[in-house]
Structure 1
Amino acid sequence: MAILIDEPRWPAHGTLWAHVVSDASEAELHAFARAVGLPERSFDLDHYDVPAARHAELVAAGALPVDRRSLITRLRASGLRVAAADRADRRRDRLQDEWDATLPGGPDIGAELLRRWQEPHRAYHSVAHLRAVLDQLRTLAAAGTPVSRAVVLAAWFHDAVHDGATPADEDASARLAADLLPAAGVPSSEVAEVARLVRLTATHTPEPGDDAGAALCDADLAVLGAPEGVYRRYAAAVRAEYRHLPDDVFRAGRATVLRRLLDRPALFATAPGRARWEQQARANVAAELAELTGR
């Protein structure tokens, strides 16, 4: 029985990631995580995600390095592996818990939002995107960017209505927040701020000094600065959401969006966002534009 770690191979957030598991018990896994300082948010149902920079440290702390196949085989044999069919439900439950911690007075609102985020027509703007935006807000907060409850609530609502029409979707999502949040005891001033922030994601152009808008917009656009392989999957998912459009129409519209992004002085409004994502984002967007236009 042991704590196991596989090789860092999975790209996300500008680095490669490995997985740490226990083939004995979940309690043993959590105890090891606490001992080495792994954050609770990095636990994903049956494993902890750990960045490549910490791999050697965790091996030195007692994790046994194995290949991916061996890790999965031993995890399954232990009975601790969460099957693929159960993962979506478990992740939804974790997001519901996170919503309840953010707004204890509105569990039904969280359930309604999660239902919307899991609508079958969504290929990119899905519950995985919601999870990513919430995670990136935590990344920005850890780097010193102010992240208020209104920003977190706006993240939950910002694509709650998604039919592929900007800014109509953002406006409808803002109105949904204005309709639902007062019943959970959210003050009117905070409701107005949530609605404002949701509408801002139509353009991602916060004014100077708008720390809340900068945080939300950067978290929403962080995928642009993902490693190349992750970015390509994002671009393919965006195309899937517009599958009803002919190729020439989609390519022209998408190219216009990408040119506008590249014309901006900076894609990201916070200093941590620029430091973390700007360079890779510009390379990714330029590469996609060149592919779309044949240049």
Structure 2
Amino acid sequence: MTGVTEESAEARRLRYWGRIEPAHEPDAFAALDSAYRQPHRSYHSWAHIDELLAGLERFGALATRPDLIAAAIFWHDAVHLARDPDGKTRLDRQNVRDSVAAFRRHTTLEGSEAQAVEDLVMATSDHVGARATTEHYPGFAADLDLFVDLDLSPLAAPWEIFAANTQKIRSESVGVEEAEFAANQVKMLEGLARGDAPVFRRAETRAAWDATARVNLARCIAGLRAAGR
């Protein structure tokens, strides 16, 4: 997946934001723009959001509430830090929780719609295990599966892009030793590979991305193991 079409990524981003802007406070986009342009971000930047929006454009017909999926895409990495102020490695789940809190501060959505976006965002803290526990609207569980697939879609990028993304993620892990980074990445990627189980949940995304993602995962895991020795 290249994430690039004839329309520029920025134009797509602004078009999707225009659709969900009424569900946000006036300063919401400025807060997102400041977050995704933080100097330490190499992978978790606007480029990642743009790629997911390109995926939503491609598979949007599968979504019941593409507007809520779009909101989750914009907010799911609003907070991304490698370490806490005390120097401890920051858990991904805490970044996701803080991203949810940022969404809640800036959204005007209420009730089941706001909770649906929160649950979509929280699903990115456990891509394999996340499941819809509440059907906030008919079709929510399927929308959650689609959103998780979109967040994992970079796994199916051409190898050169996949490898570059790994290096970008490495550069964001400030203060993390090479062996620790490699071990953490291998654990995460092996969890996604899961033997013969499909990487992607929806049949349509699986048909488009699964085979390439499996090759990339195997190749990356082997390289990380070698680097961590």
TM class, shorter-length: 0.7 to 0.9
* Aligned counterparts of 2:198 and 2:226: Cα–Cα separation in 1: 25
Determine if contact 2:123/2:130 at 8 Å carries over to the other structure: yes
Q: Is the 8 A contact 2:16 2:70 kept in 1?
A: no
Find the counterpart in structure 2 of residue 42 from structure 1: 6
Q: Contact 2:123–2:131 at 8 Å: present in 1 too? A: no
Compute the displacement of 1:148 (Å): 2.6
The aligned amino acid for 2:131 is: E
The total of aligned residue pairs comes to 209
Residue type at the aligned position of 2:162 = Y
Alignment partners' CA distance in 2, 1:96 and 1:110 = 10
The Cα of 1:272 is off from its aligned counterpart by: 1.2
Partner of 1:279 in structure 2? 211
- The answer as to whether partners of 1:261 and 1:267 remain within 8 angstroms in 2 is yes
Deviations 1:32-83 (A, max 9, x none): xxxxxxxxx62239xxxxxxxxxxxxxxxxxxxxxxxxxxxxxxxxxxxxxx
Which position in structure 2 is the counterpart of 1:54? Answer: none
Aligned residues of 1:178 and 1:192 also touching (Cα < 8 A): no
Counterparts of 1:1-150 in structure 2 under 5 Å?
A: 12=2, 42-44=6-8, 91=10, 95-104=13-22, 106=24, 107-142=26-61, 144-150=62-68
CA apart distance, 1:145 = 4.3
Relative to structure 1, the CA distance from residue 239 to residue 179 in structure 2 (aligned partners, 3 Å threshold; closer, same or farther) is same
Query: In structure 2, which of residues 116, 122, 128 is the aligned counterpart of residue 199 of structure 1?
Result: 122
The residue aligned with 1:181 is 107
Separation in 1 of the partners of 2:15 and 2:55?
Answer: 18
Q: Which of 155, 180, 191 is matched with 1:260 structurally?
A: 191
Aligned equivalent of 1:190: 113
SS of 1:245 mapped into structure 2: coil
Name the larger-Rg structure: 1
Q: CA deviation at 1:12?
A: 2.1
C-alpha contact (below 8 Å) 1:201/1:217 kept by paired residues: yes
More strand by share: 1
Q: TM-score, normalised by structure 1?
A: 0.65
Q: Structure 1 237/247 Cα, relative in aligned 2: closer, same or farther at 3 Å? A: same
Are 1:163 and 2:95 counterparts? no
Distance 1:102 1:42 in 2: 23
**Quick one: distance in 1 between partners of 2:30 and 2:19?**
13
Q: Distance in 1 between matches of 2:178 and 2:144?
A: 33
Shift of residue 134 of structure 1?
1.0
Query: For 1:110 and 1:147, how far apart are their aligned partners in 2?
Result: 20
- Counterpart code for 1:12: T
Which stretches in structure 1 are left out of the alignment for 5+ residues?
Answer: 1-10, 18-40, 46-90
**Which deviates more, 95-104 or 127-136?**
95-104
**1:97 & 1:212 partners in 2: Cα distance?**
21
Aligned to 1:24: none
Residue of structure 2 in register with 1:233 after alignment = 164
Is 2:142 aligned against 1:211? yes
